[in-house]
Structures are given as C-alpha cells and as structure tokens.
Amino acid sequence: MRAFTETDPPAPDPLAGLPSWLADREVIPLDDSLALVVRHEVMHDVVTRCRQAAQSPQPLLLTGETGVGKSLLGRFVHACRDPYAPFVSRMTTGLDEAVLDAWLFGAPRTDDGCVMAQALGGTLVLEEMADLPPAVQRRLLGLWDGQAPGPSQWILTTNRTQREIRGASPLLPEFLARLAHVHVPPLRERRRDIPALAAFFAVQAAKRELPREHLEALARRFSHYRFPGNVRELESLVLVTTCQEFWSAHPGGLV
C-alpha cells in the first residue's frame, strides 16, 4: 500500500457542492421515525443546553409555543441520559388537585399505576404544567429533596411565556427556582431551519430519497410563510404537499 505524502492531493470534501441547508444540518435520530433536525445556531444552543440538562439531577423546564418541538426535546434529553430507562410523558392541564395527586403519587396505601412508579429510574415529562396546584408543587419539591424514590429525570413543559408563568399562573417562586430553564424559539425566529426540516419531512413522507431540486423547490415554497403552528404545522404542510404531488404523478393510484 502506498504511503500518504505531502504531495498527494487532499481528499475530496464529501459535503462539497451540497446546498448549505443540507451540509450544515444536524440530524439526531431518536428512533425509527423520530429525529431532531437542527441548523439554526439558536437551536444548536438549545440542543447543547439540553445535553447538559441530561447530565444534571435538576428538573428541566422547556418553554415555547405549541408545536415548536418541546416533546421531541424531552425525548432527546431522555436519550442523552439513558435511552433504555423508562420514559413516560403525560398531559397535566385540566386535572384538579385530587386527580393530579393520585395520578402522580398514587392512591393511599398503593402506588400501583401511578406515573411516578411507571417512570421510576427513568424520565417523566409533565406536559403543559403551568397550572399545577401549589400543594402538588410542594409535594414535588419534597420529592426532589430526596424524600422518596422517583424518576431520575423530570421534564416539565409549557407553552406559556416566562412573564405568564411568573404572573398569572399558580406556580410558586420556590418551585420555579428549582428548575433549569430552556426556551425553544418559534420557527419564524429560526427560519434557517425550514429547508432542513422540510427536506427531512418530505423524505419521511415519500419513504424514499428525493431529488435535491425537489427539496429546494419545497423549501422555497415555505420560505416566506409565518408558521403560526411552528414545526408541527410545517410537517403537516409537507405531508399534504408530498401526497398531492404523488397523486398528480400517479393519477391511476397505486399499482
């Protein structure tokens, strides 16, 4: 085998010639159908802070508008910490204090079926938790002080702003002070993510690789849209667009 010398030409760059939105993106697989797709620098910072949170015992609060990807980031934190441990995610909004207490901690003399027992040693995500009753918050604070075994990682999410959760919501100052906070910005504030996300969703919907020209045209189509529904809305629009293009190209249906 010939030895490498300084006169040899450099190896070709495998990313040369790719559009920047494709070359710069980071795709982090979470399972067979889920992945975290990141390009914008602010989202790289979010991912870095979530990785750090996965190594800390401190409960994590994820804030951001509906559809920005808080649930996906919760799964990412879990995967960074221990992907083989239990993962439980539950919606808390609309549940009163008695129901929440029994649901979280179990009925008297038994904890069978409570979500804390299901997530023991793993990750428990409480979705839309800005209305947690003060009594439940105090019990969680005691739990986090080591008064009882529970999940190793607690993640709480809300679509309310910092001002809202510190003002009108019943969240206690001492409760909020215990949480590490990561804010996920809306898609309209990180538009550089749109082409990479659109390409990922289109390939998923088509279940095959697509020509780069098709993906670039798809990205241009969505480049000026405001996306009030954020990433979730983009995924739905790409799915509809991909299906429409398939049926236009195959008017006779599947054969």
Fold of 41-188: Rossmann fold (3.40.50)
Q: Return all residues near 226 (Cβ < 8 A) that are at least 6 apart.
A: 188
Selected residue with higher pLDDT from 178 and 215: 178
Q: What is the pLDDT of residue 4?
A: 47
Selected residue with higher pLDDT from 219 and 67: 67
pLDDT tens readout for residues 133-172:
999 999 999 999 987 788 999 999 999 988 888 877 789 9
Q: Where are the alpha helices (DSSP H) in the chain?
A: 20-23, 41-54, 70-81, 97-105, 115-118, 134-142, 162-166, 173-177, 194-206, 212-222, 230-249
Report the share of the chain in percent with pLDDT over 90: 58
Q: Is the pLDDT of residue 5 over 80?
A: no
pLDDT tens readout for residues 43-77:
999 999 999 999 999 999 999 999 999 999 999 99
Distance (Å) of CA 199 to CA 24, 175, 203: 13, 40, 6
pLDDT tens readout for residues 31-42:
888 899 999 999
Among 235, 254, 234, CA closest to 246: 254
For the chain, what are the domain ranges? 41-188, 190-249
Q: What is the pTM (predicted TM-score) of this model?
A: 0.85
Q: What is the pLDDT of residue 207?
A: 83
Helix axes 194-206, 212-222, angle to 10 degrees: 120
